[in-house]
Structure 1
Amino acid sequence: MDHISLNHEASAGDTHKQAVSTLPPEVVQCLENARFLHLATCVDNQPHVSLMNYTYLPSSTYSAAPVIIMTTNPASKKTNNLLVNPNVSLLVHDWVSHRPPTHSRRPSGGSPGPEHRSSLASLLINLNTSAVSSISATINGTAELVAQGSEEEKFYRDQHLENNTFDSEGPVFNPNPQQQPEDGGRECFVAGEEVRVILVHIKDVRTSDWKGGVRDWVIEPASAAATSTVSQVNGTR
């Protein structure tokens, strides 16, 4: 196989930036295929990252722009953070990866070798050692807690419940399989009355492909995107 060199283009600034009113198809595919995303919040220069279930909606009766729905315990660190600083960053990808075997353990112990891997790690390696998609997407936006008890909250919660049917998937992440919740955890993580609904309004997106190439998009209203010159790339959109 011919060697394919990686791209080393600068990525500190905007790269091939385009203004759009909807998310690019490759980002939508990523969001539709992935099971989880990473939510990053930050207060007082202390970042915090959480692994989250989510639901992506391209539009709804409450928002013409694309949004991402999540739910959280009202006493969680992420909730406290976004109340102070609503700016968030999300990382999503729809590929499965694993650490390749090494000849020996690192002097400090390091990551476990094949003989020390858990059964779950071995299962993931055997199931899929290649990428489903060739990109990861970093999504920046602002988060809000939807008004508790409102029709809007009920709408987004119902959408999130419908999209996350944990009870049909088995106790993949249950630390105690002998005490699996009958509802698969939805009562704790989504449906509980005390659980708050987080709505993320998307500002911009960056994708990174497996060769190191990056692309940027900024989400604008349809009228603004149609007249913006930012989206011009080689004379076309």
Structure 2
Amino acid sequence: MSCPASLPEHVLSLLKTSKYLHLATCSKPECIPSVSLMNYTYIPPHKVYNSHDETAEEYQKEEHYIILGTQKDTAKYANIQQNPEVSVLIHDWVTAKKLSLRKNSQSNTPTPEPTGIQNADHPSRLLNLLQELNQSELSQMSATLRGYAESIDPTSQESKYYEAELLKTNPDVSVYIEGKNFALVKVRLENAKVSDSENHTRFYG
């Protein structure tokens, strides 16, 4: 089952705007895990490469992809060749940073000396912080997505298309995609698990 169109907008926003993700792969048959911090680009269904051999019906499939570049002499690439099942973690670092900065700002604010009996209903600094923050912004801060990875034929038009998309999103990745040892990998997203700051979890797919 491909990643559903009902995937939360927050996750789609993360996929569109984040620069990095964590890619988890696992070898077979040894089952040795590996995690890598990667540049990537997200490919929504309407931007998936369409060869002239595909019918209009095939092209309309709601498939979401992530495109990655890697060297062939890496553990993750070897793992993908043996075992195409991968996991991807994306995180809302911007929201997390805002939360951390605001909490530190609140905690570093000097506590005024008491001038008398305080109102028992007076909210604490932390409560003030939580009331001021946009709760919807905090409701979904990270997502784990499972998918199937495969390397793309470097001589194909598909490879040229996705390489251009990757460079458009991350121009500085060009230093990693030079030479014959480079490979493009596409990950077809299958499902997602979204966790929020209160440890609530939802599954999609």
Per the shorter chain, which TM-score range?
0.5 to 0.7
Higher helix share: 2
Superposition deviation, residue 84 in structure 1: 0.3
1:53 equivalent to 2:59? Answer no
Would the alpha carbon gap of residues 89 and 206 (structure 1) be closer, same or farther in structure 2, given more than 3 Å must change? same
Structure 2 distance, partners of 1:190, 1:41, is 20
Q: 1:147-166 alignment to 2 at 5 Å?
A: 147-166=153-172
User: What CA distance in whole angstroms lies between the structure 2 residues aligned with 1:38 and 1:214?
Assistant: 19
Q: After superposition, what is the alpha-carbon deviation per residue over 1:88-114, rounded to whole angstroms, capped at 9, x for unaligned? A: 00000122457x99xxxxxxxxxxxxx
CA contact (8 A) 1:38 1:90 kept: yes
For residues 55 and 29 of structure 1, the distance between their equivalents in structure 2, rounded to whole angstroms, comes to 12
- Contact 2:14–2:92, Cα closer than 8 Å, also in 1: yes
8 Å contact kept, 1:160–1:190: no
Change (3 A) 1:23 1:195: farther
Larger radius of gyration: 2
CA RMSD after TM alignment: 2.6
What code does the residue aligned with 1:34 have?
Answer: S
TM-score between the two structures when normalised by the length of structure 1: 0.58
1:217-232 mapped onto 2 (5 Å cutoff):
217-218=204-205
Q: Measure, in 2, the Cα distance between the counterparts of 1:198 and 1:150.
A: 13
Within-5 A mapping of 1:33-112: 33-43=17-27, 44-59=30-45, 60-62=48-50, 64=61, 65-95=63-93, 96-97=96-97
Instruction: Report how far residue 188 of structure 1 moved.
Output: 2.5
Q: Which amino acid counterpart does residue 164 of structure 2 have in structure 1? A: D
Give the aligned partner of residue 28 of structure 1.
Answer: 12
Q: Structure 2 vs 1, CA of residues 139 and 156 (structure 1 numbering), >3 Å: closer, same or farther?
A: same
Report the TM-score, using the length of structure 2 for normalisation.
0.67
Residue of structure 2 aligned with 1:202, choices 165, 169, 189: 189
Segments of 5+ residues of structure 2 without an aligned counterpart are: 51-58, 105-134
Distance of aligned partners of 1:187 and 1:55 in 2 relative to their CA distance in 1, 3 Å threshold: closer
Paired with 2:150 and 2:78, the residues of 1 have a C-alpha distance of 12
Find the counterpart in structure 1 of residue 198 from structure 2.
211
2:89 is paired with a residue whose SS is strand
Which consecutive segments of 4 or more residues in structure 1 shift more than 4 A? none
Shift of 1:30: 1.4
- Can you list the C-alpha shifts for 1:202-236, whole angstroms capped at 9, x where unaligned? 11001001111111111xxxxxxxxxxxxxxxxxx
Using the TM superposition, give the Cα deviation of residue 192 of structure 1 relative to its aligned residue in structure 2, in angstroms. Answer: 4.2
**Percent identity for Structure 1 against Structure 2:** 33
In the alignment of these two chains, the number of paired residues is 153
The one-letter code of the counterpart of 1:76 is T
Residue pairs, 1:136-175, within 5 angstroms? 136-166=142-172
Helix, strand or coil for the counterpart of 1:61? coil
Counterpart residue number, 2:174? 187
Structure 1: give runs of 5+ residues left out of the alignment. 1-18, 102-130, 167-185, 219-237
Kindly state the Cα deviation for residue 165 of structure 1 after the two structures are TM-superposed.
Answer: 2.3
Counterparts of residues 122-133 of structure 1 (less than 5 Å): none
